[in-house]
A and B are shown apart, each in its own frame.
Chain A
Amino acid sequence: MSLHRGYQPGGSQQAEPTSARLYRTLMQAYPEEFRSEYGEEMVRCFRDLCLREKQCRGGKGLALLWARTLPELGFTALKERSAMLAGNAYLPARPEAVARSSGILALLGGASGIAYYLIGVPALPRYVSMVVLLACALLCCLALFGLYGKLSAPSGRPERLAGAGVILAVGSVGCWLTLGVFGALALASGWAWAISVVVFVGMTGLLCWFLGLLLLGFAVLRRRASGLGRTLPVMAALSLPVSMLLPAVSPLGMPLFTGLPFLGSALVGFSLLRSAGTDPLAVPGNAASRGGIARRVRRASRSGGGGEGTSTTAEPLTKAAKEKELLEALRSQGELTVAGVSLQTSLSVEEADRMLSELAAKGHLRVRAESGRLRYSLWESDG
C-alpha cells in the first residue's frame, strides 16, 4: 500500500480550504449517483492537489490548477451525464414533468413574443426591448426540452435523433444567455467587437433553435404520433427561416413574419400541455394510439366489417396475449434483460424491448441498470 507525502496527518480535521469548498459546490455538475459514489474522494483528492500546488508554487500554482480543472470538470461532468442517460432508465427528472413545465414556459414565451410584436417595439426602451425579446426566445427554446421529455417518456432512454436535438436545445439556451450578457455590454459601451459577438451568438442561437426543433420534430414524426403534435415541431422549425427570409420579399411587413417562430413555439407548448394526460407522442400500441385504432375500426365497419375490421380487432388481442406471455416469463424467471425475455418467449428482441419499455414507463415493472444493461422484474406485490 503506497502512502504519499501530499497527505498531512490531521488535515482531515482542519477546516476545508476555500478551493475544496468551491470544488464541492461545482461537483453538482456531476450526476447524483456519481457524486454519491466518488464525490467525497474527489474533493479529498482535489484538496490534496491544492495543498501541494500551494506549497510548491504558491498562488500561481493554485491558479494554474484551477485553470486546468474547470474545463476538465465541465467536460467530464457532461461525459458522466451522457453515460448515465445512455445506460440508465432513470432520467434526472421525470420526462412527463419536464414536458409539462416546458410546455407552460414555451406557451408563455410564445404568447409574450407575439404580444411583443403586436403591441409594437417603439414603445419600449432599446435595452428593455432586447431583454424582452431574449426572454421570449429563451422560454420558447424550453419547448425543445419538453419535446425531448415526451419522446423519452415511454422508454426512459433517449434516442440519437432526440439526443442530438436536446444538445442543440442546450446550445440555443446557452446562446440566448450569452447574448444577454454581451448585448448589455454592446448597448452600454457601443464597442464594435461586442456588437459582432452579439450578431454571431444570435445567429448561432437561431441556428441551434432551428436545428434542434427540426431534429426533435423528425424524432416525433418517426414515432408515428397522431394529432396536432405530429407535424407541429417541424412546422415551427421551418417558421424560423421563413421569418428571416420573407420580410425581404414581402410587402406585408416585418412584424407578421418575425412573430412566426413565437407562434410556432406557442403552438408546440400548447400541444405539449394538451398531450400531458393522453400522451399522443408515445409509441403506437398504448393508450395514445387508441384514437388511431378507433378510426380504423370505424373505417372497417363502414366498409362492411371485412378483413380490415378483423385485423384491427385482433391486433389488441394479440398484444394482450404477448403481454401476458412476457409477464409470465418475468414471474417465472424473476429478473430478465430484453434479450432474456426474447429467449424465454415468442417475442422478438425489438418487440420485447418496446413492451418492456412501455410497461416500465407506466410503473408496472421495476427496472434497474447493471453493467450498462437494463434488467426488468415484477414488483414484489405483483409476483
Chain B
Amino acid sequence: MTQEELAQHLPLTPVALNVLLALADDERHGYGIILEVEERTAGATRLGTGTLYGAIKRLRESGIIEDSEERPDPTLDDERRRYYRLTDFGRRVLIAEVERLEAAVRAAQRKRVFPAPAPGSATEGA
C-alpha cells in the first residue's frame, strides 16, 4: 500500500474520522458507534442514522472498514446486528489523518494561534 493510495483518502470528513476513532479500539455496531462518538465528544457530536450509514457505506467501499465475522451471543445482543472493524489499511488511513491534524496543530502553535503545551506536560501523561 503506497503513500499515494493513502493520500487519496485524505483528508477524512469529520464524520468518517469520528467513525474510525470509534472503531480504533473495538468492533462496534452502528448504534454503538453513535454512542461512542457522543460519549467521547461529551454530546457535542451526535451522528444521525442516515449520516452514519452513508459514511459506513463509503468507508466499506474504500476498504477502510469491514464487517466483523464474529456475531454476539444472542442472549447479550441482537445477533442480526452487523459489527464493523477497521482494516489494516483503514488503521493506516486513520494514523495518516491524525498525523496530518497533528501537523496542523503544530503549525498553529508555531504561529501562536493555539497554545503550546506547558513544559513537562508531555511527560506527565507518560
Q: Give residues in A with beta carbon < 8 Å to B.
A: 1-4, 6-7, 9, 11-12, 23, 30, 34, 37-38, 40-42, 44-46, 48-49, 68-69, 72-73, 75-77, 79-80, 371-372
Q: Contacts A1-B26, A2-B32, A12-B78 known; A69 to B48 CB distance under 8 Å? A: yes
B52-70: CB near A (< 8 Å → 1, else 0) gives 1110110001000000101
Judged by DSSP, the binding face of A is helix
In the complex, what residues of B have CB within 8 A of residue A79's CB?
Answer: 54
In the complex, what residues of A have CB within 8 A of residue B56's CB?
Answer: 38
In the complex, what residues of A have CB within 8 A of residue B34's CB?
Answer: 45, 49
Sample of 19 A–B contacts (CB below 8 Å): A1-B28, A1-B72, A2-B28, A4-B35, A30-B50, A38-B57, A41-B53, A41-B81, A42-B50, A44-B78, A44-B81, A45-B30, A46-B49, A49-B49, A69-B50, A73-B50, A76-B54, A80-B50, A371-B61
Report the nearest A residue to B55, measured CB to CB: A76
In the complex, what residues of A have CB within 8 A of residue B31's CB?
Answer: 4, 6-7, 44-45, 48-49
In the complex, what residues of A have CB within 8 A of residue B27's CB?
Answer: 1-2
In the complex, what residues of B have CB within 8 A of residue A38's CB?
Answer: 53, 56-57
B82 beta carbon closer than 8 Å to chain A: yes
Report the nearest B residue to A40, measured CB to CB: B80
In the complex, what residues of A have CB within 8 A of residue B28's CB?
Answer: 1-2
Report the nearest A residue to B47, measured CB to CB: A72
Given A3-B77, A76-B51, 6 more A-B residue pairs with CB atoms under 8 Å apart are A4-B32, A34-B57, A41-B30, A48-B31, A69-B49, A73-B48
Report the nearest B residue to A48, measured CB to CB: B31
